[in-house]
């Protein structure tokens, strides 16, 4: 597995762990406080904003740990370096991931239009963002293996 | 997604340059080893700039590194419905 593929796999795993952990923290450990608020728009807005900040901070920490591990294994390649092949693959996979997110965004409007509770909208939005990001990384692995 | 219409002789050129490694070539032309692997396998057609850099590194004309086969090229030509003559 190449360095670029390892980066994509690590990104998928870290996203899964961070989001899973955050959801477990909010709706598992603090379920008594948060579950009654699931119809409250203010709760979902603060939940989403906090999740974005937490995800960014933890992703940076995970990124640093990943780079330390790479330096320790002594692969001799700069993990931050991107050439034209990497940039083309990133553009293609990000485009595909963004299509999924837009699909999720449009789908999130459907339950609101049907008069369903507001948490459906936020959940579909969050799932759309997560699936879009994960598929974007999976497409990276696919493009690295199959070529562009 | 292989680029069958663009062949390359990078593997041969590396062989005649004292079995130059992919990593050494990648460093010399400013790309990752993965990119050299993809080009050699025909999975990626490099930019003109990178193609020239590779040719320059081996001190050969571009045509000796890359060969274009028009018959295999599935080019999408734009068709005009009512071409004016």
CA dist A16 and A14 (Å) reads: 5
Give me chain A's average pLDDT, please.
90
| B residues 32..71 contacting A (CB < 8 A) | 32-35, 37-38, 41-44, 46-47, 50
- Whole-number pLDDT of residue A35: 81
Cβ contact (<8 Å) for A85 and B2?
no
Contact indicator for B40, B50 with CB cutoff of 8 Å? no
Per-residue pLDDT of chain A (148 residues; tens, 9 = 90+): 888 888 899 999 999 999 999 999 998 888 888 888 888 889 999 999 999 999 999 999 999 988 888 888 766 677 778 899 999 999 999 999 999 999 999 999 999 999 999 899 999 999 999 999 999 999 999 999 998 8
pTM of the model: 0.83
Please state, as a whole number, how many other Cβ atoms lie within 10 Å of the Cβ of residue A76: 10
Residues of A in contact with B36 (CB under 8 A): none
CA dist A143 and A13 (Å) reads: 19
A84 in contact with B at a CB cutoff of 8 Å?
yes
- Whole-number pLDDT of residue B83: 57
- Block residue for tokens 């890359």: B66
Long-range contacts, stretch A112-120, CB < 8 angstroms, 24+ apart: A117/A38, A117/A39, A118/A39, A118/A40, A118/A41, A118/A44, A119/A38, A119/A39, A119/A44
CA dist A24 and A31 (Å) reads: 9
CA dist B75 and B85 (Å) reads: 24
Please state, as a whole number, how many other Cβ atoms lie within 10 Å of the Cβ of residue A31: 11
Mutate to test the interface with B, among A83, A96, A144 (most CBs of B within 10 A): A83
Cβ contact (<8 Å) for A3 and B42?
no
Q: Report pLDDT digits (tens) over A104-129.
A: 999 999 999 999 998 999 999 999 99
Question: Across the interface, which of A76, A85, A148 has its CB nearest the CB of B34?
Answer: A85
């Amino acid at each position: 597995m190449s360095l670029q593929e390892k980066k994509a796999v690590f990104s998928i795993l870290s996203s899964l762990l961070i989001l899973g952990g955050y959801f477990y923290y909010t709706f598992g450990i603090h379920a008594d406080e948060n579950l009654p608020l699931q119809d409250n728009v203010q709760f979902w807005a603060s939940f989403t904003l906090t999740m974005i900040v937490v995800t960014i901070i933890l992703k940076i920490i995970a990124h640093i740990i990943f780079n330390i591990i790479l330096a320790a294994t002594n692969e001799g390649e700069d993990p931050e370096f991107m050439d034209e092949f990497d940039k083309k693959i990133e553009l293609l996979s990000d485009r595909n991931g963004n299509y999924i997110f837009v699909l999720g965004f449009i789908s999130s409007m459907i339950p609101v239009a049907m008069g369903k509770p507001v948490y459906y909208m936020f959940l579909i939005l969050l799932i759309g963002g997560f699936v879009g990001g994960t598929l974007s990384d999976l497409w990276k692995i696919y493009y690295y293996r199959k070529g562009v | 997604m292989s680029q069958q219409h663009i062949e390359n002789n990078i593997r041969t050129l590396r062989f005649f340059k004292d079995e130059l490694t992919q990593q050494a070539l990648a460093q010399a032309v400013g790309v990752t080893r993965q990119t050299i692997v993809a080009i050699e396998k025909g999975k990626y057609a490099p930019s003109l700039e990178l193609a020239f850099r590779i040719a320059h590194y081996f001190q050969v004309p571009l045509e000796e590194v890359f060969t274009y086969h028009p018959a295999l090229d599935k080019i999408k030509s734009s068709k005009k419905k009512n071409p004016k003559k």
